[in-house]
A and B are shown apart, each in its own frame.
Chain A
Amino acid sequence: APLPPGSNASFAEDYLEKFFDLKNTNTSSSNNRRVSPFNLKLREMQQFFRLEETGVLDEKTLEVMNKPRCGIPDMAE
Chain B
Amino acid sequence: YSTFPGNLKWPNNNVTYRIENYTPDLPRSEVDQVIKDALDVWAKVSPLRFIRINSGVADIMISFGRREHGDAYPFDGPDGTLAHAFAPSAGLGGDTHFDEDETFTSHTTAGYNLFNVAAHEFGHALGLSHSTDPGALMYPIYSYRDPSTFVLPFDDMKGIQSLYGVKNT
Q: Mark A34-77, 1 if CB is under 8 A from B, else 0.
A: 00000000000000111000000000000010011111101011
* Cβ-defined contact, A70 with B112, below 8 A: no
Q: How far is the CB of A76 from chain B (nearest CB, A)?
A: 5
Interface residue from B4, B121, B130 paired with A74 (Cβ < 8 Å): B130
Whether the pair B142, A71 counts as a contact (CB closer than 8 A) is no
With an 8 Å Cβ cutoff, the count of chain A residues facing the other chain is: 14
B81 at the interface (CB under 8 A from A): yes
Residues of A within 8 A of B (CB): 19, 48-50, 64, 67-72, 74, 76-77
> Are A67 and B141 in contact (CB-based, < 8 A)?
yes
B73 interface contact, C-beta 8 A:
yes
Q: A50-B134, A64-B141 are in contact. Are A72 and B129 (CB under 8 A)?
A: yes
Can you list 15 contacts pairing A with B, beta carbon distance less than 8 Å? A49-B132, A50-B132, A67-B141, A67-B142, A68-B79, A68-B82, A68-B112, A69-B80, A69-B140, A69-B141, A70-B83, A70-B117, A70-B121, A70-B130, A71-B82
Residue among A49, A50, A68, A72 facing the most chain B CB atoms (10 A cut-off)? A72
CB pair B84–A71 under 8 Å, yes or no, is yes
Bound-complex Cα distance A77 to B4 (A): 10
Q: Are B140 and A74 in contact (CB-based, < 8 A)?
A: yes
> Does B18 reach chain A (CB closer than 8 Å)?
no
* Cβ A71 vs Cβ B134 within 8 A: no
Residues of A within 8 A of B9 (CB): none
Q: How many residues of B are in contact with the other chain, CB < 8 A?
A: 23
* Minimum Cβ distance to chain B for residue A53 (Å): 13
Q: Are B132 and A48 in contact (CB-based, < 8 A)?
A: yes
Given contacts A67-B141, A68-B112, A71-B82, 10 further A-B contacts (CB under 8 A): A19-B140, A50-B134, A68-B80, A69-B140, A69-B142, A70-B120, A70-B142, A71-B73, A71-B75, A72-B85
Indicate whether A70 sits within 8 Å of B140 (C-beta atoms), given known contacts A76-B4, A76-B5.
yes
Kindly list chain B residues whose C-beta atoms are within 8 Å of the C-beta of A48. Answer: 132
Closest Cβ–Cβ distance, residue B71 to chain A (whole Å): 10
Within B113-153, the residues touching A (CB, 8 Å) are: 117, 120-121, 124, 129-130, 132, 134, 140-142
Q: How far is the CA of A9 from the CA of B117 in the complex (A)?
A: 28
Let me know if B132 and A76 touch, CB within 8 A: no
Evaluate contact between B129 and A76: CB separation under 8 angstroms: yes
